[in-house]
Amino acid sequence: VLQASPTRKAKLDRQIRDMWSEESPGDPQDSGFGRFTDIEFLTEGGMGQILTATDPTIDRRVAIKILQPSITSHKVHLQKFQNEFRLTGQLEHPGIVPVHESGTADDGRVYFCMKLVQGESLAELLKTYRTLAVQQNKPFDPTPFLRHLLRVCDALSFAHSRGIVHRDLKPANLMVGAFGEVLVMDWGLAGKVRDGNRNLSEKSSGSLPQADHDPYQTIEGQIMGTPAYMAPEQARGEIG
């Protein structure tokens, strides 16, 4: 997920307010996302936007993820988006961001609602600590971060026990909360292993998936993920 600049954030905040005020000019509480109110832009990535909102039924702030407007009608992107919240919704674990529900906004875009995580990504924390080490002319000591890594391993072990692999694990997708909680985020590239006896050593042609393929199934040879953090067999196209 990319952090938007203050200028772009302000622009998108205005667009969101204008969009929903046009949809429901007579009701300032109608956000276009059902019962959710007080919609604000938080951040965005290549495929999606993250908004914050208030759930008035229990009076809490939540996060809402929605596809970028430019790719809303793209069938493959929509399937991947639905795949993300359906797979993540199966993973009830303290180390995995919980999905509360999904729905369709007034403009036709599918969205899902999840916990609003307050904290910093592990990537941001590592950058801060490295900068501090340089300023103090000391070597960078990663030892304090090992406890975070152990919690990530617990979460991934649970996901793997359910036959689900993340496929894009990296510091930017790990959130560390103010009270030490660690959550694995962004399951947009997650895949479901077909069976426990899958032969991962069998190379495939690396061809793109057919349009009618099951979006819940990992396609071998379809390379996904972030190159710097891929497992070798994933980068070679042996697994999706």
Active site residues: 168
Q: Give the C-alpha separation, 166 to 106, whole Å.
A: 31
Question: Bridge partners of 89?
Answer: none
Strands (E), 69-218: 99-104, 110-115, 119-121, 164-165, 174-177, 182-184, 191-192
How many CB atoms neighbour CB 41 within 10 A? 20
Print burial letters for 76-105: b (CB count within 10 Å at least 16), e (below 16): ebbbbbebbbbbbbebebebbbebeebeeb
CA-to-CA separations, 216 to 20, 190, 202, in angstroms, rounded? 32, 9, 20
Are 87 and 166 contacting, i.e. CB atoms less than 8 angstroms apart? Answer: no
Q: Which of 85, 32, 28, 36 is nearest to 58 (CA)?
A: 36
Are 216 and 81 contacting, i.e. CB atoms less than 8 angstroms apart? Answer: no
208: tokens are 């793109």
Q: Which of 167, 200, 179, 161 is nearest to 117 (CA)?
A: 179
